[in-house]
Structure 1
């Protein structure tokens, strides 16, 4: 067997007709995983002869549906891939796929351990620069450097540039709307009204619009009789709250807990508008090009987490004159005394007007 034949035999990417095979690492969280999609779509359009394997959690696999020559490898970080020995096993499994380079879009302890395993085998690894120093300066209470930072989407694209693949996100194209399943059509009552998604929850309370004000928004929108209002959420407590709201208004349907994640994504991709907190649902809607209005509490779009392709006017902010320390944190986990009620400064009328304008 010739040397060239040996190389092809040992490199599955070449044997399958690809020039290279890039492993993309992004294990969590849902919003961060969703933000990789526009980058991977654009990469695929520019570099069709490079195979992509995404290492992520099994639950997130439907997020990548529709991207050609992309496979998802499940990371079982709480099972067989747990700990250093589990990650060593995982790296061996991944090397068996013929990985030629690694784009680490996560840069956490687990991915750093994997980086070392790959580097020892001579596989190039590029990692995301999270801009920690810039973000620290943005969230300082004194001498704050209040300015727009590089977006997370661009930080992801920069990782591929380090591997030699330039990506211009201006060339991104959104996919066509996916066909709805019969279950989705039955749940939405096949309504012909505008579909307005509302995702009223987030990981931290500091990023959640007060429930009583959100109900006021929903009530007034219901009275307009223009929209079918579809409520998104998860978890037993949240589903109970949404079911209660659903029962009170004729144009409101609670989606939470009634569809598979795959079907929920198809529904989100067919919305006319999404109203969300600074949370994962905003990024799920934006990755389909859905006009997405976001409500912000102690966080701020300047940190780089504005949903993809959304204009700044779609971000509704609290009173920044009164609450001049915003952003107090990147993720909403730090709330200074006196900042507990920042979202009360966002009036329901402002939200309703933004939705009606879209």
Structure 2
């Protein structure tokens, strides 16, 4: 029996990618204990995890802020008697924590393929070859630590479609027609379809007979934008409040979820719903496409400058963000209608 620490502090999407793997590993190895060190916000992703998979909350803005905070976290982890460390983050903080914990313990660390990323996103002579999917990179780390699971085990972690319908209908009433989720936000401009264009898309879909549109977003700015849209189109649904588990339950009952290359894209996959993703500066080749989703559900423009960024935070060197601005609202609407037709 081993006590295994897994570190992945952020971001939400990256933690979401790891969820099916950690659930599958914990199920396959019931005699071992697994601890995922991540921000408290992510705890909702693990509400239905096996009993031997626990969340260790990490406060990156307080107790565990910066390198000194990693010493605090190291001390807090001592009662867990960690035997192995699986670092799925590979940043300065987790390197330090791994060094402290690795004095007498093996540490297994993810390979981020940084050189391949640079070749993929360079301006000239891009190496347009697929990088290892993030979930597969994580799986290799756990396998090196002695915990091997196959794709079938990962798929068994998914809830059945409409599994949470009873709870969701208590919140939103009986399901009639087509339920469509729209998650229009992303952390960086290079991944976010312009909101004025998305407003046109949302307005069109919300007014179509038989369509019920749910908006997803967290944060004060996002909620303000969604409330402004709802004032214009009262039929829109704003499922604000609750935690990530509540979002997953609703997503599980949707017919489809329209997202950016964002955390909600990965949450939709966790909820076992159809995810329709819109791509800009980033690219599925980088290994962050939604798991268990067909490539035909990805909408993107093939431009010579794409991809220019792995995470979407680099400024557009063309200054026009053509990858998103040239994508018309009409094309997005047609894409959604095609993928949701019955």
Query: Same fold per TM (> 0.5)?
Result: yes
1:333 aligns with 2:317: no
1:47 aligns with 2:13: no
In structure 2, do the counterparts of structure 1 residues 191 and 247 end up closer, same or farther at CA, with 3 Å as the change threshold?
farther
How far apart are residue 298 of structure 1 and its match?
0.9
Deviates more, 1:226-235 or 1:145-154: 226-235
Q: Secondary structure at the match of 1:254?
A: coil
1:324 aligns with 2:307: no
Equivalent residue, structure 1, for 2:220: 236
Q: Secondary structure at the match of 1:196?
A: strand
Q: Secondary structure at the match of 1:62?
A: helix
Q: Which of residues 319, 327, 332 in structure 2 aligns to 1:348?
A: 332
How far apart are residue 250 of structure 1 and its match?
5.1
Q: Which of residues 114, 118, 143 in structure 2 aligns to 1:132?
A: 114
How far apart are residue 239 of structure 1 and its match?
1.4
Q: Secondary structure at the match of 2:271?
A: coil
How far apart are residue 168 of structure 1 and its match?
1.9
How far apart are residue 85 of structure 1 and its match?
4.1
Q: Deviations over 1:286-333 (max 9, x none)?
A: 112111010001110000000111111111002x1xx21100010112
Q: Secondary structure at the match of 1:253?
A: coil
Equivalent residue, structure 1, for 2:254: 271
Q: Secondary structure at the match of 1:224?
A: coil
Deviates more, 1:260-269 or 1:290-299: 260-269
How far apart are residue 219 of structure 1 and its match?
2.7
Equivalent residue, structure 2, for 1:110: 93
1:203 aligns with 2:187: yes
How far apart are residue 218 of structure 1 and its match?
2.1
Task: Give me the whole-angstrom Cα distance separating, in 1, the residues matched to 2:220 and 2:60.
Answer: 24
Is the contact made by 1:191 and 1:228 (CA closer than 8 Å) also made in structure 2? Answer: no
Task: Give me the whole-angstrom Cα distance separating, in 2, the residues matched to 1:213 and 1:247.
Answer: 17
Task: Give me the whole-angstrom Cα distance separating, in 2, the residues matched to 1:205 and 1:217.
Answer: 18
Q: Which of residues 269, 277, 280 in structure 2 aligns to 1:297?
A: 280
Task: Give me the whole-angstrom Cα distance separating, in 2, the residues matched to 1:297 and 1:40.
Answer: 30
Deviates more, 1:52-61 or 1:191-200: 191-200
Listed as ranges, the gaps of 5+ residues in structure 2 are none
How far apart are residue 254 of structure 1 and its match?
1.9
Task: Number of aligned residue pairs: give it.
Answer: 334
In structure 2, do the counterparts of structure 1 residues 336 and 76 end up closer, same or farther at CA, with 3 Å as the change threshold?
same
Is the contact made by 1:25 and 1:104 (CA closer than 8 Å) also made in structure 2? Answer: yes
Counterparts of 1:1-358 in structure 2 under 5 Å? 19-68=1-50, 69-120=52-103, 122-172=104-154, 173=156, 174-176=158-160, 179=164, 185=169, 187-249=171-233, 251-255=235-239, 257-318=240-301, 320=302, 323-334=303-314, 335-346=316-327, 347-357=331-341
Is the contact made by 1:272 and 1:290 (CA closer than 8 Å) also made in structure 2? Answer: yes
Is the contact made by 2:306 and 2:323 (CA closer than 8 Å) also made in structure 1? Answer: no
Listed as ranges, the gaps of 5+ residues in structure 1 are 1-18
User: Larger Rg: 1 or 2?
Assistant: 1
CA RMSD of aligned residues (A): 2.1
Deviates more, 1:221-230 or 1:109-118: 221-230
Task: Give me the whole-angstrom Cα distance separating, in 2, the residues matched to 1:83 and 1:278.
Answer: 28
TM-score by length of 2: 0.91
